[in-house]
Amino acid sequence: MCGIVGAVAQRDVVEILLEGLRRLEYRGYDSAGVVVLDQERRLQRVRCLGKVKILADAVAREPLQGGTGIAHTRWATHGQPSERNAHPHISNDRIAVVHNGIIENYAKLRAQLQAQGFVFTSETDTEVIAHLVEYELRRSDNLLQAVQKSVAQLHGAYGMVILDKDEPERLVLARSGSPMVIGLGIGENFVASDPLALLPVTRRFIYLEEGDVAEITRREVRIYDTDGQPVTREIHESSASYDAGDKGPFRHFMLKEIFEQPQAVANTLEGRLSESSVLDETFGNGAADMLRKIEHVQIIACGTSYHSGLVARYWMEEIAGISCNVEIASEFRYRKSVVRPNSLLVTISQSGETADTLAALRLGKTLGYVTSLAICNVAGSSLVRESDLAFMTRAGTEIGVASTKAFTTQLVGLAMLVLALAKNRGLDTEQQKELVKALKGLPGLLEDTLKLAPVIETLAEDFSEKQHALFLGRGEEYPIAMEGALKLKEISYIHAEAYAAGELKHGPLALIDSEMPIIVVAPNNDLLEKLTSNIEEVRARGGMLYVFADENAHFEPSPDLKVINLPHCHEWLTPIIYTIPLQLLSYYVAVIRGTDVDQPRNLAKSVTVE
Ligand code: F6R
């Protein structure tokens, strides 16, 4: 969602704020803005419609300078993207606010504040915060107190930073439902919605907890909990790479991240496998004892992460013999569910800040699961901190909005979870060894699969004028077809649907004609024969087929059937391997169609609102 950066320093902070926004742009990119307090203690603001680059150009034209400032990149919730709706919002030339989240009772507050004479200049919910703080400041001793009084009146989700021109070397921040982190400098301090924004200036971070309000000055950080009591929060040293925000030689972050997958998977496996099993400490201290009790698994996630959960269900039931449900977080959180005895709750999330997944975890923790496990890519994220157990995917920072390396590393994490559970349920040692060996060979296999990139780049030309596409798979390849369809629609804006191939004849066959490309995920497994019959059904109706197949399956190409051969791999790993060409296909189609690959329209990387 929106990205926030703030700084209090002796030096000029404008470039720090702009660089922070560039690094946060993956969160939202419809408009951006910055406010600094200049030497005459005036709030100097520049805002614009569009990306951070446009903001930086505007700042270059009308230079700003100041040691205290806040900045924001927006993903619109209330009010369309426009300069007027861009943050920071200012009240009475005194209070400036940046906010990530949604204020649900903003309409009521707005009416109350209007009745007090406040004039609103935007359609946003955020402007309510600016005026409310200004209003409360009139009856408070200082900004901190005014913010504490204000947040008590807000319903919804927020991560926010507030600047008062009368307290020039201070920022007050608050968190409820949306992440906020403080970056500790030497004689200067910073805040952001993601530590990535602050890596150029610090590696020492404090994560605010739910309900915390904090104030930072150049030399001090003070944090207060929901009851207004001073609290100490742990300092984390980040090992994230400073360069995580650079594309290197790649044209887009998405392509870079696709090619990083062999390394990301190797990192995710490292130190977690013996010759024949998953090491006990892989899922955290005490996890092995917990896992021994498990008889059922409930997986919850959103989007691409949900697809990895769907694959895991096939593995879980086949290999570990454990029943497994998978559900979209936004559905789970609003329905009454029945928890089976000895159930494990697994949440999956790249960011660890997805609002629906977090809410589902919080609900799940009240329902009687034995324990909760987060499979996540961001250490220190809310999901990791609030779960009993965590498995970090070590994919490295993922910047492209379309998730790639996070997905394949989630699958690796889930595969290890399946192995750990299967071991408890008596999977024989030879089979365990075979699966461990297959996992260890994965990085090399991914390297080989990536060599298909030029072939797929050429193939992508067939799709450039298409309006629709159908993806087919069976068994654990069905979720991979779903993931392929999601990738294609989100970055190329081609309407794409996935079907379990056996379901075609129950309706979707009606869509098939020569204009409909059909992408088939067809590894050499025991469902191949059935899948081949489905392919023939499509062929008989004039569809153009693109079959991603095992090199050993010897599919015969023909004018209406293109075959893309993939390296042969262990049956268990096919969902991971067959994901790669589908990622590449959507990438190259998007490039040909000229879309904004890393920041597709209407989307944001981290969905911290409902
Ligand atoms: C699609 C994509 C999204 C995310 C979803 C969940 O490419 O990235 O569907 O997978 O928003 O996000 P996380 O995994 O951060 O919870």
Task: Give me ligand 1 centre to Cα 350, in Å.
Answer: 7
* Residue 480 host element (H or E): helix 478-492
DSSP-assigned states of every residue in 13-36: -HHHHHHHHHHHGGG--SEEEEEE
pLDDT tens for each residue of 202-216? 999 999 998 999 999
User: Given CA atoms 262, 264, 266, 272 in this order, what sign does their dihedral have?
Assistant: negative
Question: In which residue are the tokens 């349920």 written?
Answer: 425
pLDDT at site 604: 78
More confidently predicted of 254 and 280: 254
What CA–CA distance (Å, rounded) separates 551 from 574?
13
Judge if the beta carbon of residue 347 lies within 6 A of ligand 1.
no
Q: How confident is the model at residue 245 (pLDDT cuts 50, 70, 90)?
A: low
Distances (CA, A) of 510 to 117, 251, 435: 60, 39, 41
Q: Is 270 exposed, middle or buried (0-12, 13-18, 19+ CB in 10 A)?
A: exposed
User: Given CA atoms 111, 116, 119, 120 in this order, what sign does their dihedral have?
Assistant: negative
Judge if the beta carbon of residue 68 lies within 6 A of ligand 1.
no
Residue 478 near residue 500, CB atoms below 8 Å: yes
Task: Give me ligand 1 centre to Cα 499, in Å.
Answer: 20
Judge if the beta carbon of residue 410 lies within 6 A of ligand 1.
no
The proportion of the chain whose per-residue pLDDT surpasses 90, expressed as a percent, equals 78
Tokens, residue 170: 């201070």
Task: Give me ligand 1 centre to Cα 518, in Å.
Answer: 25
pLDDT tens for each residue of 101-115? 889 899 999 999 999
Give the ligand 1 atom nearest the CA of 354. Answer: 16
Using the predicted structure, report yes or no on whether residue 251 has a pLDDT greater than 80: yes
Judge if the beta carbon of residue 305 lies within 6 A of ligand 1.
yes
Pairing of strands 89-91, 204-207: unpaired
pLDDT tens for each residue of 539-571? 888 889 999 999 988 888 999 999 999 999 999
Using the predicted structure, report yes or no on whether residue 460 has a pLDDT greater than 70: yes
For the chain, the C-alpha Rg in angstroms (whole number) is 25
Collapsing DSSP to helix, strand or coil, 301 comes out as: strand
Question: Length of the chain, please?
Answer: 610
pLDDT tens for each residue of 327-364? 999 999 999 999 999 999 999 999 998 999 999 999 99
Task: Give me ligand 1 centre to Cα 584, in Å.
Answer: 18
Judge if the beta carbon of residue 308 lies within 6 A of ligand 1.
no
Tokens, residue 219: 């030399």
Average pLDDT rounded to a whole number, residues 294-320: 97
Secondary structure E strands in 494-575: 495-500, 517-522, 544-550, 561-566
Orientation of helix 442-450 relative to helix 261-269, angle to 10°: 180
What CA–CA distance (Å, rounded) separates 379 from 173?
21
Q: Is 380 exposed, middle or buried (0-12, 13-18, 19+ CB in 10 A)?
A: middle
User: Given CA atoms 113, 115, 118, 120 in this order, what sign does their dihedral have?
Assistant: positive
Residue 336: active-site member? no
Judge if the beta carbon of residue 350 lies within 6 A of ligand 1.
yes
* Residue 450 host element (H or E): helix 442-450
Question: In which residue are the tokens 């400098």 written?
Answer: 185
Q: Is 323 exposed, middle or buried (0-12, 13-18, 19+ CB in 10 A)?
A: middle
Pairing of strands 3-8, 68-74: antiparallel
Using the predicted structure, report yes or no on whether residue 504 has a pLDDT greater than 90: no
pLDDT at site 25: 83
Q: Is 551 exposed, middle or buried (0-12, 13-18, 19+ CB in 10 A)?
A: middle
For ligand 1, pick from 331, 347, 403 the residue to mutate: most ligand atoms within 8 Å of CB. Answer: 403
pLDDT at site 539: 87
Q: How confident is the model at residue 242 (pLDDT cuts 50, 70, 90)?
A: low
Average pLDDT rounded to a whole number, residues 45-61: 95
Task: Give me ligand 1 centre to Cα 306, in Å.
Answer: 8
Average pLDDT rounded to a whole number, residues 122-146: 97
Task: Give me ligand 1 centre to Cα 164, in Å.
Answer: 36
Q: How confident is the model at residue 243 (pLDDT cuts 50, 70, 90)?
A: low
Judge if the beta carbon of residue 543 lies within 6 A of ligand 1.
no
Using the predicted structure, report yes or no on whether residue 608 has a pLDDT greater than 80: no
Marked catalytic residue, from 2, 48, 324, 569: 2
Which residues, in sequence order, are bridge partners of residue 468?
495
Judge if the beta carbon of residue 607 lies within 6 A of ligand 1.
yes
Please indicate, yes or no, whether the overall pTM of this predicted structure exceeds 0.85.
no
pLDDT tens for each residue of 522-540? 998 888 888 888 888 888 8
Q: How confident is the model at residue 609 (pLDDT cuts 50, 70, 90)?
A: confident
